[in-house]
Structures are given as structure tokens and as C-alpha cells.
Amino acid sequence: MRYEPKTITLKDGTQALFRAPEPEDAAAFLDFFSAVRTETEFLLSGPGDPLPTPEEEQAWIANSLDSPAQMMIACEMDGRIVGNCQIVLKPNAKNRHRASLAIALRQEYWGRGIGTAMFTELFTVARAYGVTQLELDYIEGNDRGKALYEKMGFRPWGELPDGIRQSDGSMRKLIYMRKVLQ
Ligand SMILES: CC(C)(COP(=O)(O)OP(=O)(O)OC[C@H]1O[C@@H](n2cnc3c(N)ncnc32)[C@H](O)[C@@H]1OP(=O)(O)O)[C@@H](O)C(=O)NCCC(=O)NCCS
């Protein structure tokens, strides 16, 4: 699924370009992912985990654009990729009403309303595909993520004890949230 590009004015008046990632962005995306993994401990992969090769990343982006079940939206500011979010739709008649969301931004760009704007766009996409339940999970302690999700209408429904082992060896819960989309 391909997102049509849109310029978003953020709450500080600066502009962000939301657009579909293209296969030729593969190297820029790998730079983005490798940087963002060092800036937060609240993603599911960390600096010690392998990254795709540029060829694998290129194929992943092309596949996402062709797929009827997922869409990515990249955020470009200052001439570089500073954020990405994704919606993945469930495939079958029994779960086609559900989709999961994920998001990550470069630290320098946190707190400027990009997360809010990205989720608003993902909600529009979800509605267009008849999705009525959105799902996500976050790592215990991710207060900024939690604040975004609660603000956007997600509510917790369960948690997995010891779902994550952080790099310092501490165990964290995975908190599961959902939002009923009106
Ligand atoms: C979590 C993340 C996506 C949030 O995006 P963001 O663009 O910073 O969020 P927003 O600026 O839209 O802020 C959303 C809300 O968070 C809250 N918030 C802002 N700063 C905060 C802070 N320092 N601590 C806690 N909550 C905060 C506010 O309620 C804000 O709403 P408001 O602007 O209307 O007051 C982003 O910080 C990020 O990428 N973090 C690292 C990766 C990550 O954790 N991804 C999610 C994995 S589950």
C-alpha cells in the first residue's frame, strides 16, 4: 500500500513531509534505523541485533509498497528520514477488522507532534480499509510512547510479564493496548 505524500505543519510551525518510503531510500532507512536504535531502549531491536543488508532493505520496502496488507509512512525533515510508522492489516475474514501499528522517530524530533500527526494519518488509512480495532504494544517504562497512545485513544488490555530483557539485564513487561476505531 502506498501513502500519498502530504506536508504537515507541526505545532512549532515547522513543516514535515510525510511520504511513502521508496526502494531507493534503503540506505537512508538503514541509517535511520541504526541511529534510532541507539537513541531509545524502547524498540524491540537494539544496537546489538543484526540489521538487514541494503539489498534486503530495498526488497522489504518494495514488498511493503506492493503488499495489500501493510503501509509505511516516512517522515522527512531537514532533508533526511527522521521517522517511520507502519500499519499492518490482518489478512483473514475473521480478523480483517484488526490492524497493528508501530512508530519510531529520531530523538531530536520527539515532542513536536510528529507522533500525533502520524497516528492521525494511520487512523485515516485504517478507516479506509474498514478496520475497527487498532492494536499495539510497548515496553514498560516507555512513558512517552504511553502518553502518545493514551492521548490517541488506546487503552491497555493486558501485559506480558518479563516480555523484554533490556540490555542492562532488567526484565520489563510488554503492555498491550487497543483502540476501537469509530
Ligand atoms: C513515542 C514517540 C513515537 C512519540 O512521538 P512524539 O512525536 O514524540 O509524540 P508527540 O510529540 O505527538 O506527543 C504525544 C504526547 O506525548 C506526551 N508527551 C510529550 N512529551 C512527553 C514527555 N517528555 N514525557 C511523557 N509524555 C510526553 C504529550 O501528552 C504529547 O501530547 P501533546 O503534545 O498534545 O501534549 C517518540 O517519542 C519515539 O519515537 N520514541 C522512541 C521510539 C519509541 O518509543 N517508539 C514506540 C515503541 S512502542
pLDDT digits (tens, 9 = 90+) for 87-143: 999 999 999 999 999 999 999 999 999 999 999 999 999 999 999 999 999 999 999
Domain 6-137 has CATH 1.20.1260.10: no
Q: Which residues contact 88 (CB under 8 A, 6 or more apart)?
A: 69, 70, 99, 100, 102
Q: What is the pLDDT of residue 67?
A: 96
pLDDT at 182 over 90: no
Say if CB 159 and CB 138 are below 8 A apart.
Answer: no
Q: Closest Cα to residue 19, out of 38, 4, 1?
A: 4
Read off the C-alpha cell for 43. Answer: 524498540
Give me the mean pLDDT over the 35-56 stretch: 96
Q: For cell 538487514, what's the residue?
A: 52
Ligand 1 nearest atom to the CA of residue 42, by list position: 44
Name the CA radius of gyration of the chain, rounded. Answer: 16
Q: What is the pLDDT of residue 143?
A: 98
- For the Cβ of 129 lying below 6 angstroms from any atom of ligand 1, the answer is no
Q: How many CA atoms lie within 13 A of 113 on its CB side?
A: 10
Candidate of 112, 148, 152 to mutate for ligand 1, largest count of ligand atoms within 8 Å of Cβ: 148
Exposed, middle or buried: residue 168 (CB in 10 Å: 0-12, 13-18, 19+)?
exposed
Query: What is residue 100's three-state secondary structure?
Result: strand
Q: How many CB atoms lie within 10 A of CB 46?
A: 13
- In whole angstroms, what is the distance from residue 89 CA to residue 106 CA? 25
Q: What is the pLDDT of residues 109-119, one digit of tens each?
A: 999 999 999 99
Residue nearest to atom 9 of ligand 1 (CA): 115
Q: For cell 487503552, what's the residue?
A: 155
Q: Among residues of the chain, what percentage have pLDDT more than 70?
A: 100
- For the Cβ of 163 lying below 6 angstroms from any atom of ligand 1, the answer is no
pLDDT at 60 over 90: yes
pTM exceeding the 0.75 threshold for the entire prediction: yes
